[in-house]
Amino acid sequence: MTTISGARVFDGIDVLGVASVSVADGVITGVRPGSEDGGDVDGRGMTLLPGLVDAHVHLRGAGNLDQDLRYGVTTVLDMFSAPPQFTAMLRRRAAKNTDEADLRSSGLMAGAVDGWPAVILPPDPSGWRMPGLSGPEDAERFVADRVREGSDYLKVFVENSADVDRPVLSPETVAAVCAAARSHGLQTVAHAPTRWAFRTAIEAGVDVLTHVPLDGPLDDDVDLAGLVVCPTLAMMRARSDARSTDELLGDPRLLAGLDKEVVDALRAGDRGHLPVSSRPGTSYEHAAQNLARLAEGGATILAGTDANDVPGHAAAVLHGASMHLELELLARAGMTPRQVLRAATSVPADVFGLADRGRIAPGQRADLLLVAGDPLADVTATRDVRGVWRSGVRLPDDL
């Protein structure tokens, strides 16, 4: 048994005050008020939180999951990876390796024939090709194939043909995909970075919207209280500001878990080929203001980054490190630190049915993050990582 003694505890919902938390066999066995002598870990002056959940990432390999965990992100929700056998391999690894973040995945994303994302994935050596949908009649087949492959939820690419230079799904096809997913018990998550896409996804019955519009304010008649949104402000800023990595480069706490080659590439201006949007009216202020409206209007907000990885390059939005930037961006946009921490722990666990995590309570999975300071007073305190546990196993400090 391991006991973390004397830390301030945020249990995923609220602050419990100073407490001692015991862990055995991968689960939390006790949460007791006060500090106890003889604890295995002295948490005095620190804060213990549930492990963070990044509700929007894209994976290139197990190294991404390793980097996530170093920053206290113990669970990631992958929103598109391919081919299916690659995703299945990562799932198997993540299920048993306590030195990597745990994983849930949409697998393949629903998009149009010859559209995104199919055009970025050439046939692999086995002859596999990314499938696309030509119309509503293809929805049931596409969803059934994802169920067979083990997808945990379904991702849908929603864009207006006026905004991209490739074929897109019609609103009718998006609605058909949502209906087919519901019939199979799967939630749907929509890529919706514009006002048109946001509204189209809502009208189609999508369960979770990811991104927030960069091209203007949300429509006034949208029922904000009924929405679940993962705004990915880190990516929205990266898409609208070529200097979006400057803050990361200026904080040694965020650089500590990155390889030197990545840091050097970031300093040289490498953004992993991510372009700054040239769409008229694009502004990060639109995204921040839309998030503020959503939070004030009662929408359910999830913390997610859209972290990715480009082989041979440094990504503009990084696994692990960018999650802590995301938390601060949410706070800057008007969410309280308590709301922000809930958005990174208990709320995504609830939305995606991960009943065993996201909280510090007896019987919960022992995915934990110990940080110096008090993130309820200053959310950037999450960047000062002092200990990470996945399924009760502490990540060595030298990894």
Q: Does residue 57 sit in the same domain as residue 90?
A: yes
Per-residue pLDDT, 380: 98
Q: Does residue 20 sit in the same domain as residue 83?
A: no
Q: Does residue 352 sit in the same domain as residue 362?
A: no
pLDDT band at 62 (very low <50, low <70, confident <90, very high): confident
Across the range 125-135, mean pLDDT stands at 84
Question: Which residues lie closer than 8 Å to 176 by C-beta, 6 or more apart?
Answer: 136, 137, 139, 140
Per-residue pLDDT, 282: 86
pLDDT band at 357 (very low <50, low <70, confident <90, very high): very high
Lowest-confidence range among 38-42, 56-60, 333-337, 388-392?
Answer: 38-42
Residue 326 belongs to domain with CATH number: 3.20.20.140
The 8 Å CB, 24+ separation contacts for 239-244 are: 239/193, 239/214, 239/274, 239/275, 239/276, 239/277, 239/282, 240/214, 240/276, 240/277, 240/282, 240/283, 240/284, 240/287, 241/276, 241/284, 242/271, 242/276, 244/316
Does the structure show a pLDDT above 70 at 323? Answer: yes
Q: Could you tell me the residue range of the domain that residue 344 belongs to?
A: 52-356
Burial state string for 97-135 with b = 16 or more CB within 10 A and e = fewer than 16: bbebbbbbbbbbbbbbeebbbbeeeeeeeeeeebbbbee
Q: Does residue 45 sit in the same domain as residue 62?
A: no
The Cα–Cα gap between 262 and 255 comes to: 9
Q: Does residue 29 sit in the same domain as residue 136?
A: no
Per-residue pLDDT, 398: 59
**% the chain with pLDDT above 70:** 98
pLDDT band at 261 (very low <50, low <70, confident <90, very high): very high
Per-residue pLDDT, 162: 66
Across the range 48-65, mean pLDDT stands at 95
The Cα–Cα gap between 306 and 19 comes to: 34
pLDDT digits (tens, 9 = 90+) for 98-121: 999 999 999 999 999 988 887 777
User: What average pLDDT does the chain have?
Assistant: 94
pLDDT digits (tens, 9 = 90+) for 82-96: 889 999 999 999 999
Q: Does residue 135 sit in the same domain as residue 19?
A: no
Q: Does residue 372 sit in the same domain as residue 311?
A: no
pLDDT digits (tens, 9 = 90+) for 137-167: 999 999 999 999 999 999 999 998 767 778 9
Q: Does residue 164 sit in the same domain as residue 310?
A: yes
pLDDT band at 52 (very low <50, low <70, confident <90, very high): very high
Per-residue pLDDT, 74: 98
Does the structure show a pLDDT above 60 at 399? Answer: no
Across the range 284-301, mean pLDDT stands at 97
Q: Does residue 8 sit in the same domain as residue 103?
A: no
Across the range 66-71, mean pLDDT stands at 96
**% the chain with pLDDT above 90:** 84
Residue 366 belongs to domain with CATH number: 2.30.40.10
> What is the secondary structure of 352-380 as a DSSP string?
TT-TTSSS-STTSB--EEEEES-TTT-GG
pLDDT digits (tens, 9 = 90+) for 208-245: 999 999 999 999 999 999 999 999 999 999 999 989 99
The 8 Å CB, 24+ separation contacts for 130-139 are: 130/82, 130/83, 133/169, 133/173, 133/177, 135/170, 135/172, 135/173, 136/170, 136/172, 136/173, 136/175, 136/176, 137/176, 138/173, 139/110, 139/173, 139/176, 139/177, 139/179, 139/180
DSSP assigned state of 298:
T
Per-residue pLDDT, 388: 98
Q: Does residue 122 sit in the same domain as residue 263?
A: yes
Under 8 Å between Cβ of 392 and 2: yes
Across the range 337-353, mean pLDDT stands at 98
First to last CA, the chain: 23
> What is the secondary structure of 251-288 as a DSSP string?
-HHHHTTS-HHHHHHHHTT--TTPPPP--TT--HHHHH
Query: Is residue 162 helix, strand or coil?
Result: coil
Across the range 50-60, mean pLDDT stands at 96
Does the structure show a pLDDT above 90 at 397? Answer: no
Which residues sit opposite 365 in a β-bridge? 27
Q: Please report, as a single letter, which amino acid is at residue 211.
A: H
This prediction has a pTM of 0.96
Q: Does residue 248 sit in the same domain as residue 367?
A: no
Evaluated on CA atoms 363, 364, 367, 369, the torsion sign reads negative
pLDDT band at 278 (very low <50, low <70, confident <90, very high): confident
SS3 annotation, 306-331: CECCCCCCCCCCCCCHHHHHHHHHHH
Q: Does residue 267 sit in the same domain as residue 313?
A: yes
**Closest residue by Cα to residue 228 from 260, 252, 205:** 205
Which burial class, exposed, middle or buried, applies to 324 when counting CB atoms under 10 A from its CB (0-12, 13-18, 19+)?
A: buried
Length of the chain equals 399
Domain count, the chain: 2
Per-residue pLDDT, 280: 76
